[in-house]
Structure 1
Amino acid sequence: MRALVLHGPREVSVDEVDPPSPEPHEVVVDVERVGLCGTDVEFFTGEMAYLHQGHARYPMRLGHEWCGTVRETGSAVAADLVGRRVMGDTMLGCGHCRRCRRGHQHVCDARSEVGIRNGRAGALAEQIAVPASSLHVLPPTVDPTLGALVEPGGNAWRAAVAAHARPGDNVLVLGPGAIGTLVALFLRSEGVVVHLVGRSAGSFDFARSLGFDNAWTSDDVPDVPFDAVVDASNAPGLPAYAADQVEPAGRVVYIGLAGSPSLVDTRTLALKDVTAVGILSASPGLDATIQAYAAGRVDPRPLVAATVGLADVGAVLAGERPAGAGPGPKILVDPHLQKETT
């Protein structure tokens, strides 16, 4: 089968590799769509921390935001899964440690991460093998585009829930990228008044096209009491800014990661009685995200600017915009697409 292989920093090729064969508790999935994200870019450039911490090494196969159809099951998996459309959890815990037993496999020290950590091959290929226990079945109303957006949506759903915002509350979201926009969509679906902060007025054009008129730079944020602030940016100065902006007794949610240390003065948190929450993984939010997409409460499809083939992935990771791409921040990959971009 064809698969994207990252051989080293900025060294990527589409190779012919052996198709996967399922272990007893695994399934093999024919991949329909895969989303590209900032983590993939960091592996492409060589900046990803896991490379320097020994959790990942080249060559590797990327792709952790995916959906597809079960093709084959291992000997210990019910055969009736064949033909089911699914997506899969990225985080694969050991299943035995205290954290896994408490339902926190996404922070298991020994975890693998699909397309990211401990050598688990990702979905930028025509097929992928994953544990059956990681699967989440997709209803018919969740098409391939929505299916590939469940994983980032799960992260965003968790951030929106962590804000503890009620209808009519004001929530400030820092960073109008894919995750920040998804957070805003989930918050708005619950009646929350969403404000967005970006680096420049131009970065708001897409958000405004989705109906988010309260979009600002950090210099012109209105004097509004923000009941919660969600930092979905990668700017090292914004975590402290979030703590400054939130109302006393409010909540700050950190889902973005900067490439360098970000400092927060804990005196600000303590003296304002602020609750700060960190979000790592989509795992606890996948089912809720599927339900929201299936019911039409949140429609993230406008975020997708283009769908490309495996041969185009290297250029996208290098920062090139596909020809004819729309305004959205998200690029999807169809591993079976040979030439044209859609």
Structure 2
Amino acid sequence: MRAAVLTAPGECSVQEVPAPVASAGEVVVDVERVGVCGTDVEFFTGEMAYLHEGHARFPMRLGHEWAGIVRAVGDGVDPAWRGRRVMGDTMLGCGRCRRCERGHQHVCADRQEVGIRGGRPGALAEQLAVPVTSLHELPGNVDPALGALVEPGGNALRAARAAALTPGDRVLILGPGTIGLLTAMFARATGAEVHLMGHTAASLAFARSLGFTAWTERELPDVAFDAVIDATNAAYLPARALDLVEPGGRVVCIGLAGSPSHIDTRTLALKDVTAVGVLSASPGLAATIAAYATGQVDPRPLVAATVGLDRVGAVLAGAPIAGAGPGPKVHIDPRSH
């Protein structure tokens, strides 16, 4: 089969690789759609921490935001899975440790992450093998584009829920990228008043086109924010979030900076603020699928373009795509030549 293979920083090519075989407890999926995200770009640039910590190494196959059709099943898997459209959890815990037994496989110390950690090949390929336990079936009205947006959506849903918003609350989301905009969509669905903060005119204009109030940091009004959600990679913004949030409010950190962020815990305590970190979509996948299926949240405008595998390297390098829309997300269709 054809797969996009990252062999070194800045070096990505489409190669012919052996097609996966479903081991016991696994399925093979014909991949229909894959999202490219910031984590993939960090691997492409060589900056991803897992490369330096020994959790990942080249060559590797990226792709963890995906949807597809189950083609084959391994021993012990119900044959009824064949032909179903699915997406899958990125985080694959060991299944034996205390964390996994408590339903926290996404923070298992020995976890694999599809297309990211532990040598588990990703979905930027024509086919993908994953454990059946990681699958979530997609309803008929959740198409491949929506299916590939479930994984980032699950992260965003968890961030919005961590803010504990109620109708009439005012929330500020730092960063109008994919995760920030998805979080804004889930926050709006709670009845909250949603504001976003960014720094490029294009990203702010796109946020406004989706019906959100968007500001630069300099323009930010002096109003009370009941929650502030940091969905950026800027190391200084968690401290800024703590300054901006109302006493008794919540700060949610879902973005990851390349260097340590520092906050003053005296401010955290004196303002009686709850701070929450979010890693992984795992606990939010089912609810995200339901939100998409009912139309409560429609993230499809975020997809700027869908291209074939041959364009993966260019997408990772940030090359412009002819005819692309204004959204922040690029999808790959591995079936397209």
The residue number in structure 2 matching 1:23 is 23
Tell me the secondary structure at the aligned position of residue 241 of structure 1. helix
> 5 Å matches for 1:101-112?
101-112=101-112
Q: Per-residue displacement from partner, 1:60-80 (whole Å, max 9, x unpaired)?
A: 000000000000000110001
Question: Who is 1:197 aligned against?
Answer: 197
Partner of residue 295, structure 2: 296
Structure 1 residue 184, shift from structure 2 partner: 0.3
2:121 equivalent in structure 1: 121
Provide the TM-score with structure 2 as the length reference.
0.99
Corresponding residue of 1:137: 137
Residue matched to 1:284: 283
Deviations 1:23-56 (A, max 9, x none): 1100000000000000000000100000000000
Aligned to 1:320: 319
Looking at structure 2, the residues matched to 88 and 291 of structure 1 have their Cα atoms a distance apart, in angstroms, of 15
- Secondary structure of the residue that 2:3 maps to in structure 1? strand
Q: CA deviation at 1:223?
A: 1.6
**Amino acid corresponding to residue 64 of structure 2 in structure 1:** H
Partner of 2:262: 263
1:272 corresponds to which letter in structure 2? K
What pairs up with 1:58-97 in 2 under 5 angstroms? Answer: 58-97=58-97
Cα distance in structure 2, aligned partners of 1:30 and 1:105: 25
* CA distance in structure 1 between the aligned counterparts of 2:137 and 2:202, rounded to whole angstroms: 38
Letter of the 1:231 counterpart:
D
Q: Is the 8 A contact 1:201 1:216 kept in 2?
A: no
Would the aligned equivalents of 1:64 and 1:122 in 2 still touch at CA under 8 Å? yes
Tell me the CA shift for residue 268 of structure 1.
1.0
| Structure 1 consecutive aligned stretches of length 4 or more whose deviation exceeds 6 Å | none
Deviation at 1:7, TM superposition (A): 0.4
3-state secondary structure, aligned to 1:152: helix
Which stretches in structure 2 are left out of the alignment for 5+ residues?
none
2:251 is matched by which residue type in structure 1? V
- For residues 277 and 131 of structure 2, the distance between their equivalents in structure 1, rounded to whole angstroms, comes to 27
Distance 2:319 2:186 in 1: 29
The alignment status of 1:307 with 2:306, answered yes or no, reads yes
Percent identity (aligned): 72
How many residue pairs are counted as aligned between the two chains?
337
- Distance in 2, Cα, partners of 1:94 & 1:321: 40
CA distance in 2, matches of 1:112, 1:52: 16
The residue type paired with residue 163 of structure 1 is A
Q: Tell me, which stretches of 5 or more residues in structure 1 are unaligned?
A: none
| TM-superposition CA deviations, 1:98-155 (whole Å, max 9, x none) | 0000000000000000000000000000000000000000000100100000000000
Give 1:203 shift: 2.5
C-alpha distance in 1 between matches for 2:200 and 2:49: 28
* SS class of match (2:83): coil
2:171 paired residue number: 171
Q: Tell me the amino acid that sits aligned with residue 126 of structure 1.
A: E
SS at match of 1:151: helix
Matched residue, 2:334: 335
Contact kept, 8 Å, 1:304 with 1:329, in 2: the verdict is yes
* Mapped partners of 2:219, 2:267: distance in 1: 22
Please state how far the C-alpha of 1:201 moved relative to its aligned partner: 3.5
Query: Using the alignment, how far apart are the partners of 1:249 and 1:221 within structure 2?
Result: 21
| Pairing of 1:27-42 with structure 2 (within 5 A) | 27-42=27-42
| Deviation at residue 321 of structure 1 after TM alignment | 1.9
Aligned ranges 1:207-218 → 2 under 5 Å: 207-212=207-212, 214-218=213-217
RMSD of aligned Cα (Å)? 0.6
Q: Which residue of 2 aligns with 1:233?
A: 232
Q: When the two structures are superposed, what TM-score results if normalisation uses the length of structure 1?
A: 0.98
- Measured in 1, the distance between the counterparts of 2:20 and 2:202 equals 44
Q: Aligned equivalents of 2:12 and 2:298: distance in 1?
A: 33
Aligned amino acid, residue 216 of structure 2: T
